[in-house]
Structure 1
Amino acid sequence: MKIRSGGNDYEGLSYVSMVPYIVVDMFDFRLVDVNIEEETTWVGAGATLGKVYYAIANKSGIHAYPAGVCPTVGAGGYITGGGYGNLIRKYGLTMDNLVDATIVDVNGMVPDRATMGEELFWALRGGGEEGLYKMMVEFQTPQLTFDPYGGLMDKINSNGTPIPNREGNLFKLQYVTNWDESENQRSKYYIDLTRKLHAYMTPFVSNNPREAFLNYRDID
């Protein structure tokens, strides 16, 4: 089963599979309810980012939504992937601004954040394996983003362009840490956290796709 919100995806995962599949299209879930007083917005999984921006702009000339520049991206897939955009230096990723969610689980129940538990809420913001999850909860501040490679990236000779890291690489990893303390009083602390996260991930990173997959699978 493939779930599609906007249909925009680097790897087209809503459209391809090695086995027969069905698509659950979230297109009609397009509600965007803006509450300027509370500075919150409920966004349906099928609403595009352009629709979100338009709804906010109709309510306020000074509020913004920290998301991407492509207006046709569906909010459901975008938010659950983390949400990378041009405002991350000031406001963080989209998932950093996610305060609540309502889903339908496999039992047909409709839990919100209060009843779904923090682990599921973590997963909704792009989370995965337990060991990394525990570390991210402990560290709190550092962020880890996976940008998928593959496809045409694998087919272009690594010596043919100025970007050599191509064939066999599954992801580009981005380590991001932001802090607000005045005069960077705790800069060493946050930099050390980022280095610890990088060191933790290092054994699971490889130029061999099969080896990388096996390492990923065996994470505690």
Structure 2
Amino acid sequence: MKTPSVSTLLFILFVTFSCSWAASAHHHVDDFLKCLKQEFHNYTSISSLVYTPTNSSYSSVLRFSIHNLRFDSESIPKPLVIITPEHESQIPPLIYCAKQSHLQIRTRSGGHDFEGLSYVTQVPFVVIDFINLSEITIDAQQKTAWVQSGATIGSLYYRIAEKSPTLGFPAGACPTIGIGGHFSGGAYGALLRKYGLAADNVIDARIVDVNGRILDRKSMGEDLFWAIRGGGGASFGVILAWKVQLVDVPKTVTVFTVQRTLEQNATQLIHHWQHVAHKFDPDLFILVRVAGENYNQGRRNMTISATFSSLFLGGVDRLLTLMQESFPELGVVRKDCTEMSWIQSILYFQGFPIESPQLLLNRTQPFAGYFKGKSDYVQKPIPLNRFESIWRFFYEPVAEGSDIVLIPYGGRMDEISESAIPFPHRAGNLYKILYAANWQEAQNTDRVISWLRRFYSYMARYVSKSPREAFINYRDLDIGVNNNKGRVSYARASVWGKKYFKNNFDRLVRVKTMIDPKNFFRNEQSIPPRRTKKND
């Protein structure tokens, strides 16, 4: 008898495994749905909110909040069930049934996770999609707001502006980002230097723990409340809503966007910016976006551009005075500047018409593409003569569409302790770097990601060390992952955990061990519990 070839054996093993996995998955789904029918005495109240792959709406529900096409292909694992609850009381039975059916839970509020962890994993799982839990309640008199996790940043800004032109909130710029994951990772925006992070301004929260209890700040205790504000809420439970302290903004703010190329001394301007941006008046925020230009005109005509974008909490006259005192080299003049309201500045930086705030309510991402991001923290200015070797990465054709963004620190960020919340990147950092690789064709994925990894590796000499710090909201699985099944070792998790959280990682592990000792809430970069006799 002829001996089967190696390739034939591998094919047989693959088919056997696939069939076994499919049968196992089908069993999990059956158990999960049966459990739901038992837990919900009026199952019809939730049946229309449950989607399986056999449902005609499953694909559209799954794809609606996928903003990164890397995670929208046939080869990407899909959730066995998607649930879009309408009431927080529906969440505890979902957790119970997932536990009983041996399914992992992923919670999705906006779908902007850099690595798609809110809706992708290699083990059988269900997704709780918060799209229907998006209520926002503003109390302008008390300067507070309750925001459900499924609300977007844009909708929060819009509702604040409805109530008051002189209130705002220090969160991100992209209006379609979901509140749930954004706040739980820290979150920052153009008010960073004045008011710190979004998580620094959270004053209460509601969470469902592993036992199905709905807890607020008082009942969850200060340890858990500390952990979910910057430690990644998905490690500890399902966060339902956040109560935030709104902040004061003036009736008039001023913005400018100034672009300079290498031929216009962009390198010298960036080098000088490193020395002064963290020392600016806290009302002044200037970030820098660096990218290649003129890719289609040949290498000889290519250049690097630096775009300086600013939000100033005040009028143009005071801004010009501060710029003349602090950064005259940039050459900002009155015609570069525009006065507007704070809510209009949100629209301005998104390229929206500033007279159309209702655009902030749109959950649809206007431009979808392929994306991979990384992050770094710079603690010493990069020497002027080293920028030329950095710019050479942008001269590679594969870099077209990609950029780096330099986000200044200082101000309020220098005043808050590293241990105040899990987010530790405070005093001592001059600025943060976001590396953003973007491309439009799937076949370019490996080439672009390889370019980004080379660029990131080269930058190691210029950024924080021991550990090389990273920002959890710029999720990056390259820096380390947990195993998907079985016990997660502290040593393995600390490889990535120390980069995100530094010394706060150990406290996060202690909280995790206390609140979820059997590690039900887990993902590729979730906080692990310490192994104890109780959870062995």
Count the aligned residue pairs. Answer: 177
The answer as to 2:134 corresponding to 1:30 is yes
Match of 1:144 among 424, 427, 440: 424
The answer for the alignment partner of 1:51 in structure 2 is 155
Match of 2:183 among 49, 59, 79: 79
Point out where structure 2 has 5 or more consecutive residues left out of the alignment. Answer: 1-104, 236-415, 426-431, 438-444, 461-466, 472-477, 482-490, 498-504, 507-536
| Structure-to-structure mapping, 1:19-168, within 5 angstroms | 19-127=123-231, 140=420, 143-145=423-425, 154-156=449-451, 164-165=458-459
Runs ≥4 residues deviating over 6 A:
146-153
SS in 2 for 1:164: helix
CA drift of 1:143 comes to 4.7
The answer for the alignment partner of 2:470 in structure 1 is 173
Deviations 1:26-67 (A, max 9, x none): 111111000011000000000001110010000001111110
Deviations 1:73-126 (A, max 9, x none): 010111011112111100100000000011122222111101101111112112
Provide the TM-score with structure 2 as the length reference: 0.29
The answer for the alignment partner of 1:216 in structure 2 is 494
CA drift of 1:8 comes to 1.1
Q: For residues 94 and 76 of structure 1, what CA distance do their matches in structure 2 show?
A: 11
CA drift of 1:18 comes to 1.6
Instruction: Confirm or deny: 8 A CA contact 2:230 2:423 kept in the other structure.
Output: no
Q: For residues 480 and 120 of structure 2, what CA distance do their matches in structure 1 show?
A: 20
- Whichever residue aligns with residue 55 of structure 1, its letter is R
More strand by share: 2
More helix by share: 2
Q: Which moved more, 1:53-62 or 1:120-129?
A: 120-129
Deviations 1:157-180 (A, max 9, x none): 666x598348xxx97436xxxxxx
SS in 1 for 2:123: coil
Structure 1 pair 137/116, CA: closer, same or farther in 2 (3 Å)? farther
Based on CA coordinates, which of the two structures has the bigger radius of gyration? 2
The answer for the alignment partner of 1:195 in structure 2 is none
Q: For residues 3 and 28 of structure 1, what CA distance do their matches in structure 2 show?
A: 13
RMSD: 3.9
Q: Percent identity?
A: 42
- Whichever residue aligns with residue 424 of structure 2, its letter is L
Structure 1 pair 155/141, CA: closer, same or farther in 2 (3 Å)? same
CA drift of 1:140 comes to 3.7
SS in 2 for 1:99: strand
SS in 2 for 1:126: coil
The answer for the alignment partner of 2:292 in structure 1 is none
The answer for the alignment partner of 2:387 in structure 1 is none
- Whichever residue aligns with residue 223 of structure 2, its letter is E
The answer for the alignment partner of 1:182 in structure 2 is none
SS in 1 for 2:131: coil
Provide the TM-score with structure 1 as the length reference: 0.66
- Whichever residue aligns with residue 139 of structure 2, its letter is N
Instruction: Confirm or deny: 8 A CA contact 2:187 2:199 kept in the other structure.
Output: yes
The answer for the alignment partner of 2:360 in structure 1 is none
- Whichever residue aligns with residue 92 of structure 1, its letter is G
